[in-house]
Structure 1
């Protein structure tokens, strides 16, 4: 078996095993400290340990730290260093927001700065590949697009993390598709990083799936979103990631455009989803409520939470398949 394939499998297994043990440990610690969130989509509104996305960080980062001997000390080391610093920065910003809420204007700026390691270590190629066109040349503007891209992916994933299992489930699908795509293209060092993220998300999903026993919090969702953005930039899969994350990006776009400004969920006067007497979820008729992907889905009729989660997961699976199809339209990519 090829050493690259073995290393990718080991990265996923290592991060998964670390995550399986890290999640309950961090959940217990956060519970003792009173770091709790409320599951607002349950009729009895249970309190759930919050900020447990720290376990995703604890699971995904160690494989990157030990990766250099497997893939070399040159460019792979710089790639892993950039991704590690990027992920830790985004995770710390998220933890800060979990413990002391940040301004909705400050958080996107801070998450954009998380992309600086990619620039400083110069582990990017300013020639993104587009369908039917191939490689473009964006030497001057591309560094700015890196910062914007990391902020967009991080905050789009963060805004999608509102139902049990949706964040690790959908992002796990995207990370898995990304890993296989990078392997097929022979980009083993970045595939290794993507596999580590996939394993960490799979472990977290076990505890976050319906009914959730833990919440990721911003520490988890911002870390995952920033890592997906960083992996796409370093692996030259920018258009692939845009298409794969389309449900998350459109959810964020609809929400922000309907409110007309940057906002935090805590600031919303009326929630987009209401709970009916039979415990099903329905779209809010209140015009002040933000327009979200979930609200659009529920316009067609009420669903239980599991049904809504299945639809959102299916949309991400479809967008990931479309991402692969889109990549095949890029000249020279087969």
Structure 2
């Protein structure tokens, strides 16, 4: 039923696009995305035993019977996505082909082949493909965080080199309140590439951090992907600027197949999951979203769609930076009734917390973002919830079933996207 709904939605989108009569290439992309989604939906169950035999498997610890499930199943989905993009490459340039020959600049009546656009697509594919490879290496080798935190920046190098060689813009528009002091535009120069690298690192790891229960990784990726599609369509239908239309068409060429294959993955990863998506998918999803945000020139809007992930990262910082004790796994735990409840940490057990850790927990408690389960005689925190969005939801609304926990977090993600659209298309006029 879920796949049928995806197909119907895609066909409706195709009808809306083709009714304008000017985006045939996008219609082809939609059809190929539907086929890719159906292929992924069909292939994943057939690959289950193959992955288990290869020892790419793990126990679902949040089920009473702890079933053995295949891991790293984001890999076949990512491969299907890449094959779809490879097959799609000729279609955006179909007007520059005559028979079997490419029209070059020696024919002034046709125009020069847009090699920069081809380079843009190839650099984006190379960045995504590199991230998939590094994600699979992490799944197999269990690379430590101190090393893998830099994986996205390494995979993003082809993208940044293309951006530089094609004289990509490095300036940012200043808010109206700052224009009397800084001017309308400020050129960041090399700092813009630092920003791009940080955006790639954040998008990739933020999905990996907000994880641990059935359907959450693929679910949040689908919501963000659909939000990006809606944003692109709003630009295409309402913006007469050809350059902006081309940038957002490029985004759609990458994001629609991504949503198609991710919907298929979500179908099998939904509670009760028949497979795990693995770090490969998290890296693949984050890099794909970062690529479309950077080359589509809407990175600030993309960050608005990542509001829950930004909150989850900031909320997790005291543990991520070791101000508070951080266990290896911070996912929720299963209680005796078969429901999920927040996992806890005892921040002073191994060694007393420092001043910064105590200040961070006091601030979170004052803001209502920390549930303390036990104090000692001196009033110091003995036990509190782990600092993740999932545990915060369960601390305030739990215990809940795993399915309802996922639905609650995805509802937050949808609300964040609606808020992002309100900020981008309404409040933005008060700032820019």
Question: TM-score, normalized by length of structure 2?
Answer: 0.71
SS at match of 2:214: coil
Report what 1:282 is aligned to. 341
- The equivalent residue for 2:405 is 308
Q: Is the 8 A contact 2:72 2:281 kept in 1?
A: yes
CA contact 1:194–1:231 (8 Å) conserved in 2? yes
* Correspondence 1:229-268 to 2 at 5 A: 229-261=290-322, 268=327
Q: Distance in 1 between matches of 2:206 and 2:386?
A: 15
- Over 3 Å counting, the alpha-carbon distance change for 1:126 and 1:200 in structure 2 is farther
Q: How does 1:1-334 map to 2 (within 5 A)?
A: 1=18, 2=22, 3-72=24-93, 74-122=115-163, 124-128=168-172, 137-185=187-235, 186=245, 187-261=248-322, 268=327, 271-288=330-347, 290-300=386-396, 301-328=398-425, 329-330=427-428
Q: Is the 8 A contact 2:171 2:185 kept in 1?
A: yes
Native 8 Å contact 1:36 1:50 kept in 2:
yes
Structure 2: gaps of 5 or more residues:
1-17, 94-113, 178-183, 236-244, 348-384
CA contact (8 A) 2:301 2:420 kept: yes
Q: CA deviation at 1:23?
A: 2.0
Q: 1:221 to 1:269 in 2, by over 3 A?
A: closer
SS of alignment partner, residue 232 of structure 2: helix
Find the residue that maps to 1:48 and give its secondary structure.
Answer: strand
Larger radius of gyration: 2
Runs of 5+ in structure 1 lacking a partner?
A: none
* Count of matched residue pairs: 331
Q: Provide the rounded CA distance (Å) in 2 between the counterparts of 1:34 and 1:271.
A: 24
Matched-pair contact (CA < 8 Å) for 1:51–1:98: yes
Structure-2 change in CA distance of 1:26 and 1:117 (3 Å)? farther
Q: Structure 1 stretch 301-310 or stretch 133-142: which is displaced more?
A: 133-142
Q: Please give the alpha-carbon distance, in whole angstroms, between the structure 1 residues aligned to 2:76 and 2:212.
A: 18
Residue 8 of structure 1 deviates from its aligned partner by: 3.8
1:102 aligns to what SS in structure 2? coil
Of 185-194 and 250-259, deviating more is: 250-259
Distance, in Å, in 2 between the alignment partners of 1:277 and 1:39 is 16
Q: Quote the Cα distance in structure 2 between the aligned partners of 1:47 and 1:130.
A: 53
**TM (normalized to structure 1)?**
0.90
| RMSD of equivalent CA atoms | 2.7
